Amino acid sequence: MRGGAFLAQRLVALVWVLLGISIVVFLVLRLTPGDPAMLLLGPVATVDDLSRLRRELGLTAPLYVQYALWLGRVLHGDFGRSITMHRPVLAEAFLKLKATALLTGAALLVSSVVGIAAGVLAGWRRNSAADRLSMLLALVGVSVPVFWLGIVLIYVFSVWLRLLPAGGMHSPFGGGPLDTLAHLILPAVTLGAASSGIVARITRSSVLEVVHQDYMRTARAKGLRDGQVLRRHGLKNALIPVITIIGVQMGFLLSGAILTETVFSWPGIGTMLVTAILSRDFPTVQGGVLLVAGLFVLVNLATDLSYTLLDPRIRYES
Amino acid sequence: MTVGVRRVLALLAAVTLLFGPIAFSHPGLAADQTLVVGLVAEPVNLDPAQVTDFNSTRAGRRVVETLIDFAPGSTTLGPNLATSWSVSPDGLEYTFKLRPNVKFSDGTPMNAEAVRFSIDRQINGESAAHKLGWFPYANYNFGTVKDIVVVDDHTVKFVLKEPRASFLGIMQGAAAGIVSPTAYNKLGKDFATQPVGTGPFKFAGWDRGNQILMERNPNYWGKAPRLQKIAFRWASDTQALLAQLQNGTLDLITDLPPDSIAALDKNPQFTVVKHPAIHVWYVGMNTTHGPLRDKRVRQALNYAVDKTAITRDVLKGTAIPAISPINPGTWGYNPDVTRYPYNPAKAKQLLAEAGFSNGFTVNFWVPESGSGMEAPVAMATVIQANLKAIGVTANIQTMEWGSYLKRLTTREQDLFALSWAAGQPDPDFVLYPLFHSSQWTPNGPNRALYKNDQFDALLDAGRKYTDQALRKKIYFQAEKLLTDDAPWIFVDHQLWVMVTKSSVKGFYLGADQDIHVNTAYRQ
């Protein structure tokens, strides 16, 4: 089966990509000035305490030995314990990844729904007021920095109107799905804003291209109404580039999530990685980056595979 | 407006109205029984002996208590789990009488064995308990402990290898917290994330990434707290922390940047509390490098810097100018030292006397941020301008905190900005590590590479004698020598600022930057 062979090939490539990433991350962390032992003990550290702690953390062995030991453990599913959090890296990273996945997923939903709707409206009603307004908003969405938008939304909806919470994933002493949803709205909109701008622009140009195709004219000639032409023939053809861009946006959203998580105190993997990098928490950074990279590669693969579902003409051959 | 747009707006309004109020309700609890504390980072660990950051101790010390503690609002040590203590005349034995009938929140007794266990697990590398934890400051705190003797069920004796007059201060520190041996042995490595102690609150849950919950400890030996529950939450972004205070989610926050405080100070909904922290912010001068070897040059740099302008304009009143490393209001503070009021003319004259009338150039290392560093880059910029005015060119190099600490061990620094939060009023905790010649970096934190034999001898004597009146005389003399030698530009002591909702009363702040909420309540 050709599709199966393609998938297998991509999965093998995934292993190499992850191995490469793990080496780069490992080296970059160790070549960055700063030492986890010194950061943990702070300015009071004595040379004896530091060398004892470095031994305990396994930082005294040669680099290739440290890497080999780490890789060996990872292959057995043991990502080690965080130096600062004193918890297993894998458990902590999965917990945080769940929060990030929720945020990124919600932002993707916001950006797809808003972006496609605005793009279709703008493309279909080209040069109308709706087109101009949509594209203006798309430009604003793309241009506004995530942290600025986040803070403005917090001040309007949380501090001033007091409609939505300002941060965190749950209320103090509380919880539940509705509570989480309330906490999710502002960060998802903040994170999704820039992407929805991009999606809207791509959708618009894609729709414009499709509008003048022969099959669209034929559909109209058959007597279909405008809305039917758009739904049955226009959208499906216009959406291929949009799906690509939404797939690419996943990576963008994952990186944008770091800032959004900081502004909204969202307990995601972005915040965890930034904290871990600043405190030179090697096992956490290595494990966390590996997971995020794996996720990113898988999302790309899923995007590629989704083309075949949307357009039967597309086939992958190995 | 089209029908579609109207529909969307209506839906948005419905969603926010539906979910909004949920966010601010505290299910099942009356508002006056709970307190939500905002920290700047998630605590990493709640066993105070295993902790290196303030956020963790601020939560952990609600659960785990020490034998002695500061009397409320003061820097005088008073009884806590110990009712009294005595020191042998040679300064080698510290005997503590324990409070009777105290139980840990798991119901097991707090006794002399529990005290021995709590400290022994940190220093006895051979014990099974030692391997269940991670004790970064064990050597710093208890390196001088030779033996811990259980005299009887309610009496415990610490035998030291050498006199250390500041040992009582160590017994107040977070690392000297007394934990339940039963719970520690049972929970092993997980004890650090679910500690069991004798405090007014007991650990009730850690929703990782979101909050830590505590509730009243029914076994607490003292007066029961009025609060029923506390939640600790965190936001690394100070604007986010501020927004959560303003929208009512948080009741109490700390570590705000100076700029935010002025606006809150005028708002009647909030109470701003300022409390002296035992802390000093300084510019160290490498006393082994070039012109800085000359005492007159170092004095000139001290005269050149306008400390009052820094505390007033950069730090907006959240600090007071320093004349020495010792905090005013503590017993070791000598007001009668060589002082350096802002005087550029005098500075120029001293430079000329030292043969540098045309000035000179030095490097000036500054961290971008860091624990207790206030506003390092802005402060360093003012200092740079001050030095320029007397002809000294200080080339600022800013560094990320981790890289900065590492580079300071190279001894290549000329000038460097750093701070020290001893948390203890005993001057030994400041003067010895920072200025004793045995503590030159990388062996210790003496990064100005200061050495004065007479001064060293005074500090050694200060550790040896236990009579406080005598020690006060010794340290007063040491501070005179030190300020005259001027290995630092003494800049400021931070005022620790906390903001609460006006309805929250009864809490107090410790000089060690701890937040005491045992007596807190909502009006």
Minimal C-alpha gap between A313 and chain B (Å): 35
The predicted complex's ipTM stands at 0.83
Beta-carbon contacts of residue A187 (< 8 Å; ≥ 6 apart): A103, A106, A107, A150, A260, A261, A263, A264, A266
**Using a CB-CB distance cutoff of 8 angstroms, which residues of chain B are in contact with residue A96?**
209
Nearest to B427 by CA among B415, B416, B418, B436: B436
Token pair of A271 as six digits? 């915040």
3-state secondary structure of B360: strand
Closest CA in chain A for residue B215: A173
Q: Which residue in the set A33, A86, A175 is minimally distant from B192, CB to CB? A: A86
Is residue B55 a contact partner of residue B249, using CB atoms and an 8 Å limit?
no
In b/e form, how buried is each residue of A27-62, taking b as 16+ CB within 10 angstroms?
eebeeeebbbbbbbbbbbbbeebbebbeeebebeee
Q: Do B237 and A263 touch (CB under 8 A)?
A: yes
The pLDDT tens digits along chain B (523 residues) read: 444 445 544 554 554 444 444 444 433 344 568 999 999 888 988 999 988 788 899 999 999 999 999 988 788 899 999 999 999 999 999 999 999 999 999 999 999 999 999 999 999 989 999 988 888 888 889 999 999 999 999 999 999 999 999 999 999 999 999 999 999 999 998 999 999 999 999 999 999 889 999 999 999 999 999 999 999 999 888 888 899 999 999 999 988 888 888 788 889 999 999 888 899 999 999 999 999 999 999 999 999 999 999 999 999 999 999 999 999 989 999 999 999 999 999 999 999 999 999 999 999 999 998 878 899 999 999 999 999 999 999 999 999 888 888 899 899 999 999 999 888 899 999 999 999 999 998 888 999 999 999 999 999 999 999 898 999 999 999 999 999 999 999 999 999 889 999 999 988 888 788 888 888 998 8
Nearest to B133 by CA among B48, B37, B67, B233: B48
Is residue B495 a contact partner of residue B276, using CB atoms and an 8 Å limit?
yes
Closest CA in chain A for residue B8: A114
The answer to whether residue B445 neighbours chain A at the CB level (below 8 Å) is: yes
d(CA A118, CA B461) in angstroms, rounded, equals: 78
Is residue B231 a contact partner of residue B213, using CB atoms and an 8 Å limit?
yes
The answer to whether residue B523 neighbours chain A at the CB level (below 8 Å) is: no
Q: Do B20 and A162 touch (CB under 8 A)?
A: yes
Nearest to B374 by CA among B302, B487, B235, B280: B280
**Using a CB-CB distance cutoff of 8 angstroms, which residues of chain A are in contact with residue B44?**
84-86
Q: What percent of chain A has pLDDT above 70?
A: 98
**Using a CB-CB distance cutoff of 8 angstroms, which residues of chain B are in contact with residue A32?**
402-403
Q: Which residue in the set B52, B208, B209 is minimally distant from A42, CB to CB? A: B52
A210 pLDDT higher than 50? yes
Q: Do B134 and A92 touch (CB under 8 A)?
A: no
Minimal C-alpha gap between A93 and chain B (Å): 11
**Using a CB-CB distance cutoff of 8 angstroms, which residues of chain A are in contact with residue B442?**
47, 50
In b/e form, how buried is each residue of B158-173, taking b as 16+ CB within 10 angstroms?
bebeebbbbbbbbbbb
Mean pLDDT of A183-210: 92
Mean pLDDT of A70-91: 88
Beta-carbon contacts of residue B477 (< 8 Å; ≥ 6 apart): B458
| CA distances from residue A41 to A35, A297, B178, B243 in whole angstroms, order as listed | 10, 37, 22, 32
**Using a CB-CB distance cutoff of 8 angstroms, which residues of chain A are in contact with residue B52?**
40-42
Peptide bond into B442 cis (omega under 30): yes
Q: Do B243 and A39 touch (CB under 8 A)?
A: no
Q: What percent of chain A has pLDDT above 90?
A: 34
Residue B424: the pLDDT is 87
Residue B160: the pLDDT is 97
Token pair of B149 as six digits? 């003797």
Q: Do A182 and B400 touch (CB under 8 A)?
A: no
d(CA B155, CA B96) in angstroms, rounded, equals: 6
Minimal C-alpha gap between A242 and chain B (Å): 23
Q: What is the pLDDT of residues A175-192, one digit of tens each?
A: 789 999 999 999 999 999
Q: Which residue in the set B25, B371, B407 is minimally distant from A171, CB to CB? A: B25
| CA distances from residue A16 to A19, A96, A126, A317 in whole angstroms, order as listed | 5, 25, 46, 21
Q: Which residue in the set B26, B234, B248 is minimally distant from A173, CB to CB? A: B26
Q: Which residue in the set B237, B244, B445 is minimally distant from A43, CB to CB? A: B445
Strands B360-367, B392-399: parallel, antiparallel or unpaired by DSSP?
A: parallel
Cβ-Cβ contacts under 8 Å between A and B: the total is 191
Q: Do A167 and B235 touch (CB under 8 A)?
A: yes
In b/e form, how buried is each residue of B381-415, taking b as 16+ CB within 10 angstroms?
ebbbebbeebbbebeeeebbbbbbbbbbbeeebbb
3-state secondary structure of B407: helix
Token pair of A68 as six digits? 């080999």
Residue A271: the pLDDT is 86
Closest CA in chain A for residue B440: A46
**Using a CB-CB distance cutoff of 8 angstroms, which residues of chain A are in contact with residue B41?**
275
The answer to whether residue B440 neighbours chain A at the CB level (below 8 Å) is: no
**Using a CB-CB distance cutoff of 8 angstroms, which residues of chain A are in contact with residue B36?**
172
Minimal C-alpha gap between A94 and chain B (Å): 12
d(CA B193, CA B305) in angstroms, rounded, equals: 46
Q: Do B247 and A44 touch (CB under 8 A)?
A: no
Minimal C-alpha gap between A267 and chain B (Å): 5
Mean pLDDT of A193-214: 89
Minimal C-alpha gap between B344 and chain A (Å): 32
Mean pLDDT of A143-167: 92
Closest CA in chain B for residue A182: B19
Residue B303: the pLDDT is 98
Closest CA in chain B for residue A99: B209
Residue B511: the pLDDT is 78
For chain B, the 3-state helix, strand and coil shares in percent, each to the nearest 5, are: 35, 25, 40
CB contacts under 8 A, B 316-345 vs A, are: none
Q: Which residue in the set B19, B27, B193 is minimally distant from A174, CB to CB? A: B27
Minimal C-alpha gap between A85 and chain B (Å): 5
Minimal C-alpha gap between B137 and chain A (Å): 8
**Using a CB-CB distance cutoff of 8 angstroms, which residues of chain A are in contact with residue B27?**
173-174
Residue B301: the pLDDT is 97
Mean pLDDT of chain A: 86
Q: Do B136 and A53 touch (CB under 8 A)?
A: yes
Minimal C-alpha gap between B70 and chain A (Å): 22
Q: Which residue in the set B25, B229, B244 is minimally distant from A166, CB to CB? A: B244
Is residue A261 a contact partner of residue A96, using CB atoms and an 8 Å limit?
no
The answer to whether residue B16 neighbours chain A at the CB level (below 8 Å) is: yes
Minimal C-alpha gap between A8 and chain B (Å): 37
Residue B5: the pLDDT is 45
Minimal C-alpha gap between B209 and chain A (Å): 5
Residue B7: the pLDDT is 52
Q: Do A265 and B139 touch (CB under 8 A)?
A: no
Task: Give the mutation candidate from A86, A155, A277 for the B interface (greatest B CB count, under 10 A).
Answer: A86
A217 pLDDT higher than 60? yes
The answer to whether residue B211 neighbours chain A at the CB level (below 8 Å) is: yes
Mean pLDDT of A233-242: 82
Place of tokens 């402990």: B145
The answer to whether residue B25 neighbours chain A at the CB level (below 8 Å) is: yes
Q: Do B240 and A280 touch (CB under 8 A)?
A: no
